[in-house]
Structure 1
Amino acid sequence: MKNRSLTIAFATAAITGSILFTACTGTGSKTAADSSATATDTASSAGLTVPAGFTANIIARDLGGTRHIAISPQGDIFVKLGKSKDGKGILVLHENNGKAVVKNAFGDYDGTGIYLKNGYLYASSNEDVYRYKLNDKNEVIDTTSPEIIVKGLINRNQHESKSIVLDDAGNLYVNIGAYSNSCQVKDREKGSMGQPGCPILDSAGGIWQFKADKLNQTYKDGVRYATGLRNVVGLDWNKQDNQLFVMQHGRDGLHDLFPDMYTSKQQAELPAECMYALKKGDNAGWPYIYYDQQQGKKIVSPEYGGDSKKEGDSKFINPVAAYPGHLAPNGLLFYTGSQFPEKYKNGAFIAFHGSWNRAPEPQAGYFVVFQPFKNAKPDGKWEVFADGFSGSAANTAKGSAVRRPCGLAQGPDGSIYVTDDAKGTLYKISYKK
Structure 2
Amino acid sequence: MNIFEKLDYTILNYKINLSGAVIGCALLALVSHQTKAQTAGLTMPAGFKAEIIAENTGRPRHITVTKKGDIYVKLFRKVDDKGILMLQDKDGDGKYESRTSFGNYIGTGIYLKDSYLYASSDEGVFRYKLDANEHVINPDKPDTLVKGLVSRRQHETKSLVLDNDGNMYVNIGAPSNSCQVNDRQPGSPGQVNCPILETAGGIWQFKIDKMNQSYAEGVRYATGLRNVVGLDWNKQNNALFVMQHGRDQLTMFPEYYDVKQSAELPAECMYMIKQGDNAGWPYSYYDPFQKKNILAPEYGGDGKKEADSKFINPVAAFPAHMAPNGLLFYTGNMFPERYKNGAFVAFHGSWNRAPEPQKGFLVAFIPFKDGKPSGEWETFADGFSGSPEKTASGRADHKPCGLAMGPDGALYVTDDSKGAIYKISYNK
Length-normalised TM-score, structure 2: 0.91
Q: Does 1:180 align with 2:176?
A: yes
Summarize deviations over 1:1-47 as a string: whole Å, max 9, x none.
Answer: xxxxxxxxxxxxxxxxxxxxxxxxxxxx999xxxxx9xxx9324x11
Once superposed, which parts of structure 1, at least 4 consecutive aligned residues long, lie more than 6 Å away? none
C-alpha contact 1:71 1:410 (8 A) present in aligned 2: yes
Change (3 A) 1:365 1:197: same
330, 350, 356: which one pairs with 1:355?
350
Tell me the secondary structure at the aligned position of residue 216 of structure 2.
Answer: helix
- Distance of 1:396 and 1:421 partners within structure 2: 16
372, 381, 389: which one pairs with 1:386?
381
Q: Does 1:244 align with 2:208?
A: no
Summarize deviations over 1:164-202 as a string: whole Å, max 9, x none.
Answer: 000000001000000000000000000000000000000
Tell me the secondary structure at the aligned position of residue 52 of structure 2.
Answer: strand
- Distance of 1:221 and 1:30 partners within structure 2: 57
Corresponding residue for 2:372?
Answer: 377
Corresponding residue for 2:67?
Answer: 73
Tell me the secondary structure at the aligned position of residue 197 of structure 2.
Answer: helix
1:269-418 equivalence runs, <5 A? 269-418=264-413
Corresponding residue for 2:17?
Answer: none
Tell me the secondary structure at the aligned position of residue 219 of structure 1.
Answer: coil
Q: Does 1:197 align with 2:187?
A: no
Q: CA deviation at 1:97?
A: 1.9
Corresponding residue for 2:149?
Answer: 153
- Distance of 2:362 and 2:146 partners within structure 1: 33
Q: Which amino acid aligns with 1:290?
A: Y
CA RMSD of superposed structures (Å): 1.3
Unaligned runs of 5+ in 2: 1-30
Q: Which amino acid aligns with 1:213?
A: D
Corresponding residue for 1:122?
Answer: 118
Q: CA deviation at 1:294?
A: 0.8
Q: Does 1:87 align with 2:81?
A: yes
- Distance of 1:75 and 1:420 partners within structure 2: 19
Summarize deviations over 1:219-276 as a string: whole Å, max 9, x none.
Answer: 0000000000000000000000000000000000001x10110010000000000000
Size of the aligned set, in residue pairs, is: 395
C-alpha contact 1:351 1:368 (8 A) present in aligned 2: yes
- Distance of 2:413 and 2:196 partners within structure 1: 33
Q: CA deviation at 1:118?
A: 1.4
Q: Which amino acid aligns with 1:342?
A: E
Q: Of the two, which has the highest radius of gyration?
A: 2
Length-normalised TM-score, structure 1: 0.90
Over the matched positions of the two proteins, sequence identity in percent amounts to 66
Change (3 A) 1:209 1:30: farther
C-alpha contact 1:370 1:382 (8 A) present in aligned 2: yes
C-alpha contact 1:420 1:426 (8 A) present in aligned 2: yes
Q: CA deviation at 1:339?
A: 0.5
- Distance of 1:362 and 1:284 partners within structure 2: 28
C-alpha contact 1:181 1:251 (8 A) present in aligned 2: yes
Q: Relative CO higher for 1 or 2, CA cutoff 8 Å, sep ≥ 6? A: 1
Q: Which amino acid aligns with 1:261?
A: Y
Q: CA deviation at 1:75?
A: 0.9
Change (3 A) 1:293 1:381: same
C-alpha contact 1:240 1:346 (8 A) present in aligned 2: yes
Corresponding residue for 2:418?
Answer: 423
Q: Which amino acid aligns with 2:96?
A: A
Summarize deviations over 1:320-369 as a string: whole Å, max 9, x none.
Answer: 00010000000000000010000000000000000000001000100000
- Distance of 2:286 and 2:335 partners within structure 1: 33
C-alpha contact 1:130 1:146 (8 A) present in aligned 2: yes
Q: Which amino acid aligns with 2:187?
A: G
- Distance of 2:239 and 2:375 partners within structure 1: 20
Q: CA deviation at 1:98?
A: 1.4
Change (3 A) 1:30 1:66: farther
Summarize deviations over 1:353-411 as a string: whole Å, max 9, x none.
Answer: 00000001000100000011111101111111100110111000000001100000000
Q: Which amino acid aligns with 1:52?
A: A
Summarize deviations over 1:145-179 as a string: whole Å, max 9, x none.
Answer: 11100000000000000000000000010000000
Q: CA deviation at 1:103?
A: 3.1
Q: Which amino acid aligns with 2:394?
A: G
Tell me the secondary structure at the aligned position of residue 112 of structure 2.
Answer: strand
Corresponding residue for 1:57?
Answer: 51
C-alpha contact 1:74 1:137 (8 A) present in aligned 2: yes
- Distance of 2:306 and 2:162 partners within structure 1: 34
1:21-36 equivalence runs, <5 A? none
- Distance of 1:305 and 1:361 partners within structure 2: 27
Change (3 A) 1:150 1:61: same
Q: CA deviation at 1:100?
A: 1.1
Tell me the secondary structure at the aligned position of residue 71 of structure 2.
Answer: strand
C-alpha contact 1:30 1:388 (8 A) present in aligned 2: no
Q: Does 1:42 align with 2:37?
A: yes
C-alpha contact 1:73 1:411 (8 A) present in aligned 2: yes
- Distance of 2:93 and 2:45 partners within structure 1: 23
